[in-house]
Amino acid sequence: MNLLLKEVAYNTFKQKPKTENIEVDLSVKFGIDKEKFEERVIFLELNMDGNTDDDDNNEPTRKLFVVAIFQYKAPLSKYEDFKKNHSEKEYREELLENQAQDDQEHLIVFLKRINDLVINMTSFDDNRTTLDIEPAIEMYETENV
């Protein structure tokens, strides 16, 4: 597994309201190596926008932006027994059926690493709460997409 951090930016503004509204926008995309089927990649883009929780005067409090790439190998070895006892077509079908689950597991590992990064980056300021993306990760876990 290999994590590449392409871009990380954290900006804080003057506003330090008692309650702030944090908008988390987390997008991921999957990729598969054209030649090596087991080589996978996940592209991630995370935008966190903090705003004062005030309808009349909605001002930014802080912004966090992360672009990262996570490269990993799909665990094809666990299907080797299946491959021996079944045809190539059945093996491919089995892989297609299960690869989504495998990718999902790696995605959660990746998101947790990004979460650690977000916590580390935003925990230095005593006057602001530490940010995290746990609610977003929980959604990925429970949705089973």
Footprint of another protein on 61-100 (CB under 8 A)? 63, 65, 67, 100
CA 3/CA 19 separation, integer angstroms: 33
Should residue 143 be labelled a site residue for another protein when binding is judged by CB under 8 A? yes
Handedness of CA 88, 106, 38, 33 (dihedral sign): positive
Cβ-based neighbours of 44, under 8 Å, separated by 6 or more: 26, 27, 28, 66, 67, 68, 69, 70, 110, 111, 114
Should residue 101 be labelled a site residue for another protein when binding is judged by CB under 8 A? no
Should residue 120 be labelled a site residue for another protein when binding is judged by CB under 8 A? no
Among 28, 76, 95, 121, binds another protein (CB under 8 A): 28
Query: In sequence order, what are the beta bridge partners of 40?
Result: 32, 72
Q: Which lies closer to another protein via its Cβ, residue 3 or residue 28?
A: 28
Handedness of CA 143, 62, 22, 59 (dihedral sign): negative
| Stretch of residues binding another protein (CB under 8 A), selected from 16-24, 74-82, 87-95 | 16-24
Should residue 59 be labelled a site residue for another protein when binding is judged by CB under 8 A? no
Among 3, 95, 108, 136, binds another protein (CB under 8 A): 136
Q: Tokens in use for 109?
A: 């590992």
| Interface positions with another protein (CB under 8 A) | 6-7, 11, 16-35, 41, 43, 45, 47, 49, 53, 60, 63, 65, 67, 100, 103, 128-136, 139-140, 143, 145
